[in-house]
Amino acid sequence: MAQFKSESMSAVFQEQAAKLGSKACVSYKKGGQWLDISWADMNTMVHNMAYYLMDYGIKKGDRVAIFSPNRWEWWVASLATTSIGAVSVPIYATNSAEEAQYVLEHSGSSICFVGTEDHADRVLKVIKKCPKLDQLIIFDDLSKKKQSVITFKEALEKGAKKAKPAEFDKRLKAIKRDDVSTIIYTSGTTGNPKGVMLSHYNFFSNAKNIMADMGKFFNTEDVWLSFLPLSHSLEMTCGFYGPIWVGGKTAFAESIEKLLDNFKEVRPTVIISVPRIYEKVHAGILAQVAAAPGLKKAIFNFALNTAKKNLPYVCRDLPRKGLFAFRYNLADKLVFSKLKAAIGMDRLRFAISGGAPLSVSDAEFFIGMGMKILEGFGLTETTPVLTYNRPWFIKPGTVGQAIPETKIKIADDGEILAKGPQIMLGYYKNKAATEEVMTKDGYFKTGDIGVIDEDGFLKITGRIKDIIVTAGGKNISPQNIENSVKTSPYVEQIAVIGDKRKYLSALVIPNFEAVGKWAKQKGISFSSNADLIKNDEVNKLIESEIAKYTRQFSRVEQIKKFTLLEAEWTQATGELTPTQKVKRRVIEQKYAKEIDAMYPPDVE
């Protein structure tokens, strides 16, 4: 096998495949069974798909899109594309036909890999508006022939017949560190998404610098569970290239709906996640405890108090001693070990959290039980990791210290600025937008506001474009307030309103499972979510929860009015981005009537 200069993750994959051969690289569920594919077999498919693409006429720099949920074929498609110097363009599997069209057309993609027939149909619906796109390669089998569509299996078979290993090696060796590897379109909370051009060295350096500190904690026996979208830069760098770097095995979750089942089946040792997953698991556990009989509740509360006291030991990697060690072992035996086993987290050694701030209560809940949640910070434009908490020094409520070769500083207006080898090449076909986010001395403007403490830990305090400026001229970060209120077991989602208004209000979606159980205990009759949100007692409950979880904020940061909504915000209904961030403008437009009702004209 040819030796490659490892400054691209495509080359790293080749080296690992040569070394690990018959060892399991990926795992997927089919017919109720989890099946493994070896590194050698994955590499054979990467080569055959690359041969197909080359024979098709894909040249260096050509764009190849991938529109699919997470699955092993996604890896093959991406590695085949980037190994021959072409550019991968991932598209969120949840995107509509029109959203996919924008990415395909703007990127000028000539081939699009699609996961399912539904994805194929979405692309075929708009293919005439994408002049450069002339072929789809579908991962699933086709129920009937479709024009311009061939199956993944057919492409592999055709590629195998056109094998040109010398050409593959030549193309891979010719990759330069600043060549574009991938264009990731930001999911943007406003306007059309921007295409972030990330180089081969952006990814390589980010993986290298994360593993400079973390490499010794991972090994080839680790099992990673992949469920964050691979079109998200956090999953791409940490959940795709991370296990490739260390030679671990990656299992692909069937779907978010089946995630908790997959956790129990796979029992991963490493996960990459956004806070929403931790929030949901935490809320689910608390809701079960709230409904538990007295003795069970008392035991759980004993364990929770023990977990709080355990925080300093886990956060600073210190051994527990004496009486507390006995107390922790008892809590672990009675509660923690059973809880972890019940949710499939009994083997979990590291949980990486990013994409949005993780609430301190969620972090402390899991860390106190002995799980190392390492929260970090970054953006698509920074490939993405800039900072993270190390296993031996965790500060809940912060996003950790900078990774090697990365400089972080705070601008005069509080904005976090970053410089390092992971900063993007720029926005595709948008020089003006690129110049706008860079300072004269070469720092990237993150758009986030933060502070750095005496230990070099970064704390995010808000996002510039989300800052609420009240009618009285006060600047308020809604994220901090929202994250605090979401700590309540009775609150599922919240959006704080108040820009150019006299006071803060909020739209709140209750945790209907928890609120429903509470209502039954109180003898409140209801037949739907709509009944619950109209109930005075339920409204008083949420009011008291908001007051409880915002008491630490100043008077102007208090929520004066709120309105309960009956349906959860999702990407499908338009209020969330694919990375589960709230689209504030959409919410303000969609619920304008409800918001206006909280600001009657005669209220001062």
For 298-355, how does the pLDDT look when each residue is reduced to its tens digit (9 = 90+)? Answer: 999 999 999 999 999 999 999 999 999 999 999 999 999 999 999 999 999 999 998 7
Matching residue, tokens 């999953």: 235
For position 4, what pLDDT does the model report?
55
The C-alpha angle 300, 344, 311, rounded to 5 degrees, equals 50
> For 485-543, how does the pLDDT look when each residue is reduced to its tens digit (9 = 90+)?
998 999 999 999 998 899 999 999 999 999 999 999 999 999 999 999 999 999 999 99
* Cα 374 to Cα 216: distance, rounded to the nearest angstrom: 15
Largest CA distance in the chain: 78
> For 231-258, how does the pLDDT look when each residue is reduced to its tens digit (9 = 90+)?
999 999 999 999 999 999 999 999 988 9
- Assess whether pLDDT exceeds 60 at residue 12: yes
- For residue 393, give every residue at least 6 positions away whose Cβ sits within 8 Å of its Cβ, in sequence order, or none: 315, 316, 317, 401, 455
For position 188, what pLDDT does the model report?
58
Write out the two tokens for 305: 């108090």
Q: Is 261 exposed, middle or buried (0-12, 13-18, 19+ CB in 10 A)?
A: middle
- Assess whether pLDDT exceeds 70 at residue 190: no
Find out whether 584 and 495 touch, Cβ atoms under 8 Å.
yes
For position 150, what pLDDT does the model report?
97
- The answer to whether the bond into 578 is cis (omega within 30° of 0) is no
Domains of the chain, each with CATH number or no CATH: 9-185+218-272 (3.40.50.12780), 467-597 (3.30.300.30)
* Model pTM score: 0.89
Write out the two tokens for 173: 């060796």
What's 304-373 look like in SS3?
HHHHHHHHHHHHCCCCCCHHHHHHHHHHHHHHHHHHHHHCCCCCCCEEEECCCCCCHHHHHHHHHCCCEE
> For 134-180, how does the pLDDT look when each residue is reduced to its tens digit (9 = 90+)?
999 999 999 999 999 999 999 999 999 999 999 999 999 999 999 99
Q: Is 200 exposed, middle or buried (0-12, 13-18, 19+ CB in 10 A)?
A: buried
DSSP codes joined into one string, 465-497: GG-EE-TT--EE-HHHHHHHHTTSTTEEEEEEE
**How high is the mean pLDDT of the chain?**
93
Region 76-89 average pLDDT? 98
- Assess whether pLDDT exceeds 50 at residue 1: no
